[in-house]
Structure 1
């Protein structure tokens, strides 16, 4: 009875008989681990080891986080209810918010103006020469590789404390980002309008003016609006190192332990960012034709 149960059924026997032919026809499917699978497994193991090493070296301990939740709740109670303080102090907070907005706007606008020619030089279909494109790309990579906070520290050392350093920090940081985005948008432009301009006898400048820029300017405008929204948040951070704006006021309130004023400033920052987000989203939809 057991021997009959262990013998393969005719259907299974036929399937087993086809295995050698299938193995010969598709050897890759019958390997235990293919090259790609071995690489994926090695990357998974390497990532797991790096994760464990990082947790160990950085002393990441969930127990410490859980123990600190009580202190966090205590700080939250100190911050409630939000209170700007005196009327004069509230006016100072509003003036600092307006300064933050001005820093983000001027820095973003100046960066876009400077990055446009650099983006043309870095684009494959608009540059003067391959060496010029290589130099422009590496320049943009170098600028983009330094964070806005580091640029703020540099410009504060150069021009002193104040919003001027903040504008320069936002501008410098965004030149690298805008240059890369602009060059990629130019390279992705449809070639048919460009070929039409050239076929009509247009020069290289005319090709860019009438065949490329009309296509990419709405895209560039949307990118400028998005980074303006992002820079509104960034300009609150660079103010902490003395580059003007609401960040400097926020840092002073934290140092003096005025937690209710801190929560009021944070709430106003959130409202300002949300309003700019809504406005820029509407403008981007209009530029996109939606």
Structure 2
């Protein structure tokens, strides 16, 4: 059987176009309502963006004028210098890492049992699950900087307030992520445990937890990496760590020392990113394992 050329197929299709319109009129009908919805959505987004730029007093001229000043600041940062305070900065950086580690670990340990109460396949009661989920939403809706300000007024200045702030902020996020991982876990091991005579608690302990634990550990590692940066930010408001030195040096325009601190933070985050990436791949599997 001879194959038809593309030009022949196109000519045949065009010749049969009227017949196709008659047989399948719904496929050739223009969806004006759908097009109007898309156009209306795009117009709304563009209008909202324009209003936001106007309300925020956006000015390209101010940005261009500020680029020269920004370049001047960059030149004043060179070369980076510790100013004879390398030991002090190193101790502050270690304090920042401690804040991130303790806060992340505390949040994960507290959120782990609560996440099961928010999982649909563990707690079938929708009212109990709704209450737990809304509580987690309240915790994670408050930014870590606000938590830091709250805890500074409760326990005073220092790294303890910073660790508590990160723990409170991550508690809600971990609870949501952990519960979603539990809900999407493989049910077959748990069903096998129940079929073997195990209880509901046995189903969770031996059928559900082993399957989701690698995913949860991977999420904790990622948050520790992210919280290293967050611990730097909350130090600016007095919650300990290297952030308090950073804000003081910026205020007095010691820009060479500011550049040195920024480099220390960048190197630390890069190292943590590399190590946590390898650990995540080792835990959940993947390229480079």
TM-score scaled by length of structure 2: 0.91
For residues 108-160 of structure 1, give each alpha carbon's deviation from its aligned partner in whole angstroms, at most 9, with x where no partner exists: 00000000111000001112632221111111111111111111111111111
Partner of 1:76: 74
Partner of 2:65: 67
**How far apart, in 2, do the equivalents of 1:262 and 1:14 lie?**
72
Whether the 8 Å contact between 1:121 and 1:128 is mirrored in structure 2 is: no
Q: Which is further off, 58-67 or 211-220?
A: 58-67
For the aligned residue pairs, the C-alpha RMSD in angstroms reads 1.9
Partner of 1:9: none
**How far apart, in 1, do the equivalents of 2:14 and 2:216 lie?**
62
Partner of 1:36: 34
Q: Which is further off, 125-134 or 17-26?
A: 17-26
Correspondence 1:52 to 2:47: no
Q: Which has the larger radius of gyration?
A: 1
**Where in structure 2 are the equivalents of 1:150-229 lying within 5 Å?**
150-229=146-225
How many residue pairs match? The answer is 278
Partner of 1:146: 142
TM-score scaled by length of structure 1: 0.91
How far is 1:16 from its partner? Answer: 8.0
Instruction: Provide closer, same or farther for how the CA distance between residues 207 and 20 of structure 1 changes in structure 2, counting only shifts above 3 A.
Output: same
Whether the 8 Å contact between 1:166 and 1:235 is mirrored in structure 2 is: yes
**How far apart, in 2, do the equivalents of 1:200 and 1:158 lie?**
51
Secondary structure of 1:153's match?
A: helix
Instruction: Provide closer, same or farther for how the CA distance between residues 265 and 13 of structure 1 changes in structure 2, counting only shifts above 3 A.
Output: closer
Runs of 5+ consecutive residues of structure 2 not aligned to the other structure: 1-9
For residues 32-52 of structure 1, give each alpha carbon's deviation from its aligned partner in whole angstroms, at most 9, with x where no partner exists: 434333222111111011111
For residues 238-290 of structure 1, give each alpha carbon's deviation from its aligned partner in whole angstroms, at most 9, with x where no partner exists: 11111111111100111111110000000000000000001100111110133
Runs of 4+ in structure 1 displaced over 4 angstroms?
A: 12-21
User: 254, 257, 260: which one pairs with 1:261?
Assistant: 257
Partner of 1:288: 284
Partner of 2:92: 96
User: 236, 239, 242: which one pairs with 1:240?
Assistant: 236
Partner of 2:4: none
Runs of 5+ consecutive residues of structure 1 not aligned to the other structure: 1-11
Secondary structure of 1:245's match?
A: coil
User: 218, 227, 231: which one pairs with 1:231?
Assistant: 227
**How far apart, in 1, do the equivalents of 2:11 and 2:103 lie?**
75
Q: Which is further off, 160-169 or 150-159?
A: 150-159
**How far apart, in 1, do the equivalents of 2:124 and 2:24 lie?**
51
User: 116, 120, 138: which one pairs with 2:116?
Assistant: 120
How far is 1:59 from its partner? Answer: 1.3
Secondary structure of 1:120's match?
A: helix
